[in-house]
Amino acid sequence: TLLEIGLQQAHESGELTLYYQPQVNTNTGEVIGVEALLRWEHSELGRISPAEFIPLAEESKLIIPIGEWVLKEACKQFREWLDEGYELGHVAVNISSVQFQNRELPEVIGKILEETQLLPEYVELEITESVVQNTKEAIPIMEELKQMGVKLSLDDFGTGYSSLKYLKDFPLDTLKIDKSFIQTVHESEKDQAVIDTIIKMGNRLALNVIAEGVETSGQLDYLKERQCLYYQGFLFSKPISKEDVQRLLFKGR
């Protein structure tokens, strides 16, 4: 399709960029990481959402080179920040299920870590439950990544093909509660029962629990009370350009 051809060209001509959204400690406000999010600035159509073009990239397998570029760009940027004296905890990168079916993923990541001289614990890979539908393939890849020292995060938890089995069988570091749960937290006791249980379960499993899509201070207070230690959302910051990361996070340091 036209958009597919456009995406290929965008990749080659540098129309793709990364934005970064801070991940924050609910109690102290300290930034504990940033999530890299892909942006496509089309010369005529304007900004196209990754929700639109990632599925296209997955169908056409373009996600393999694009995903590799995202990993490299995120690691290069994190290295640059370290060199300037700014330690932002980690950089989290979204990994598509198509990338995860590729047995070369650990090798690709190893090479990027070497090139950028980055310790593996600075990198967190965000996978969704759809990645892991093919668990026979996925678990050995996860273990290999884990062995390397890279961190693993289960994104959008609670939606889609949620299974509690994943929490038990996958070598995870982090659980991200999907934003749909946060957005309804003040609507009903049922919503609260579900979110409270996810937080408790994550804490019991010694996972870092991050709430996504936090937009109000009421939502943040709720999470603090329930011992959800980390959050991400417009309340602290939208996803921002690397220049704005410098402006927002490095000021006064």
Q: 218 φ, ψ to 5°?
A: -65, -40
Please, which residue, 66 or 118, has the CB nearer to ligand G?
66
Residues 176-215 that bind Na ion (CB under 5 A): 212
Task: State the number of CA atoms in the 13 A half-sphere of 73 facing the CB.
Answer: 22
Sequence-distant (≥ 6) Cβ neighbours of residue 242 within 8 angstroms: 18, 20, 77
Whether residue 35 contacts residue 92, with contact meaning beta carbons closer than 8 Å, is answered with yes
Please, which residue, 85 or 217, has the CB nearer to ligand G?
217
- Taking the C-alpha atoms of residue 213 and residue 233, their distance in angstroms, rounded to an integer, is 4
From 35, 68, 73, 155, residue interacting with Na ion (rule: CB under 5 A): 155
Please, which residue, 92 or 249, has the CB nearer to Na ion?
92
Residues 122-151 that bind Mn ion (CB under 5 A): 126
Residues 89-128 that bind Mn ion (CB under 5 A): 94, 126
Shortest distance, CB of residue 133 to ligand G, whole angstroms? 15
Give me the residue label for tokens 């970064």.
20
Q: Write the burial class of residue 165 (CB in 10 Å: 0-12 exposed, 13-18 middle, 19+ buried).
A: exposed
- Reduced DSSP (H G I as helix, E B as strand, rest coil) percent helix, strand, coil of the chain, to 5: 50, 20, 30
Shortest distance, CB of residue 88 to ligand G, whole angstroms? 17
* Total residues binding Mn ion (CB under 5 A): 3
Q: 35 φ, ψ to 5°?
A: -100, 125
Shortest distance, CB of residue 121 to ligand G, whole angstroms? 20
Please, which residue, 57 or 118, has the CB nearer to ligand G?
57
- Give the footprint of ligand G on this chain (CB under 6 A): 21, 37-38, 49-51, 54, 70, 94, 96, 126, 155-156, 179, 212-215, 232-234, 239
Start-to-end Cα distance in the chain:
48
Give which of ligand G, Na ion, Mn ion, none residue 38 binds (C-beta under 5 to 8 Å, depending on kind): ligand G
Give which of Mn ion, Na ion, ligand G, none residue 124 binds (C-beta under 5 to 8 Å, depending on kind): none
Please, which residue, 81 or 157, has the CB nearer to Na ion?
157
Determine the residue with CB nearest ligand G: 233
State yes or no: residue 35 binds Na ion (CB under 5 A).
no
Indicate the pairing of strand 91-94 with strand 31-42: parallel
- Tell me the angle at which helices 2-13 and 63-83 cross, rounded to the nearest 10 degrees: 30
State yes or no: residue 73 binds Na ion (CB under 5 A).
no
What are the residues binding Na ion (CB under 5 A)?
155-156, 212
